[in-house]
Chain A
Amino acid sequence: MAVVLRSRHCPFADNGFPMHELGIAASILESVQAEALRHPAGRITKVGVKIGELSGVDRDALQFGFEVLVKDTEWEPVVLDLEYIPRVQRCSKCAHEFRMTEFDPQCPQCGEFLTDCIGGEELDIAYMEVDE
């Protein structure tokens, strides 16, 4: 089941979605609709999405886009729960894991510069809540 892209709420409807977050909101709604098909007697009330610091997605714009998409539709009661995932690095030398701030990759424990990103790239649907 696809989201109706030509929503009357979208002023650019004829050309698809010019706004990045609105397209992502549409993908989230598609997943909700697909999951809903598996629970014909239930009703999806919430969808949880992880947004990594490096995902390039603005949470406010995504929240707004989602609300615009579901407004006046049967999906309006679905709450979008966004969880921000900070960038986490793991040291290649001492395996220490740390939250990276100010783009400083240096390991605070041993001083090593070569550290790998192990968190912060997420753009994942984590869970959904269904009232059955």
Chain B
Amino acid sequence: MNRIEVEKKVLNENQVLAEQLRERYRQLGVLCINLISAPGSGKTALLERTLQRMDKGSRVAVLTGDLQTENDAKRLAKFGFPVKQITTGGTCHLDARMIGKHLADWKLEDLDLLIVENVGNLVCPSSYDLGEDAKIVLLSTSEGEDKPLKYPSIFFKAELMLLTKIDLLPYVPFNADVARENARRVHPQLEIIDVSSTTGEGLDRWMEWLRARQERAKAKLHTATAPH
């Protein structure tokens, strides 16, 4: 009997594709974000408000994943930016291959921002790197405050948590302080922004976060191409 040390990622194939995407984004200065939450936390509503606030000439595109239907793509296409639906059939997450395939007929060099709306699921999407710069997790006030403790993986991997439906706080038995504390127990450095897609509360801060990250992606591009 012979023991062979392997030491490689189980999802190595996905990882390789994700790194290729990441490198393409980096070379073109494109910011890619991956939005992850349970079904119904408000990913699509947030994107509607986000696209609505973008300048007409913004170079932004959206890939939106669901098991079935083109409903989200239809909702998001109204704002005039390129949107493509990825229907996974039965699969509970997006993987890097699906992203690569759906990007094939878009010109990445025409984009500054690529938003990926993952399949509504707090578990599986956390395992699949899509080549994004940042994972963003949404938690809504109509869920439980202990979700970060129940599903720590995604709260640990996300850079930013959006606490959504903040306008419902007076009507639901949700303690926002406890939810934030739970999220920071899992991930002490996690950034948190409270938002409401209905009233618009917090959306300025969210747009500012996006702008700052886009500038960072562009700045990296300049330092990478500057002559030494």
Contact between B1 and A16, CB atoms less than 8 A apart? no
The count of A-to-B residue pairs whose CB atoms sit within 8 angstroms is 102
Distance in angstroms between the alpha carbons of A113 and B1 in the assembled complex? 47
Assembled-state Cα–Cα distance A103/B90 (Å): 33
Contact status A56-B124, CB under 8 Å: yes
Tell me whether A79 is interfacial, beta carbon within 8 Å: no
Q: Which of B12, B88, B154, B186 contacts A31 (CB 8 A)?
A: B12
- Whether B2 contacts A103 by the Cβ 8 Å rule is no
A contact residues, total (Cβ < 8 Å): 40
Q: How far is the CB of B125 from chain A (nearest CB, A)?
A: 9
CB of A103 within 8 A of CB of B6, answer no
Assess whether A83 is interfacial by the CB under 8 Å rule: no
Decide yes or no: A129 and B186 within 8 Å by CB, A20-B123, A28-B10, A124-B8 being known contacts.
Answer: no
| Inter-chain contacts of B127 with A (CB < 8 A) | 20, 24, 55-57, 123
Interface pair A103/B152, CB less than 8 Å apart? yes
Give a binary string over B64-91; 1 marks a CB under 8 Å from any A CB, 0 the rest: 0000000000000000000000001111
Q: Is the CB of A42 within 8 A of B2?
A: yes
Contact B6 A54 (CB under 8 A): no
What A residues does B185 contact at CB under 8 A? 103-105
A49 contacts B by Cβ under 8 Å? yes
Decide yes or no whether A132 CB sits under 8 A from chain B: yes
A24 to B92: give the CA distance in the assembly, Å: 12
A60 CA to B186 CA in the complex, in Å?
23
Q: Give the chain A neighbours of B149 by CB distance below 8 A.
A: 103
Contacts of A85 in B (CB 8 A): none
CB of A23 closer than 8 Å to a CB of B: yes
Contact of A20 (CB < 8 Å), options: B4, B7, B8, B124:
B124
Contacts of B157 in A (CB 8 A): 54
Closest to B188 in A: A105
Known contacts A24-B10, A45-B1; 5 additional CB pairs below 8 A are A20-B93, A27-B13, A31-B6, A42-B2, A55-B127
5 smallest CB-CB distances across A and B, nearest first, come from: A15-B89, A15-B90, A56-B153, A18-B90, A103-B185
A-B contact pairs, 20 of them (CB 8 A): A15-B90, A15-B91, A16-B89, A18-B92, A20-B92, A20-B124, A24-B11, A24-B127, A30-B13, A35-B6, A56-B153, A57-B127, A103-B182, A115-B188, A123-B9, A123-B11, A124-B9, A126-B7, A127-B5, A128-B4
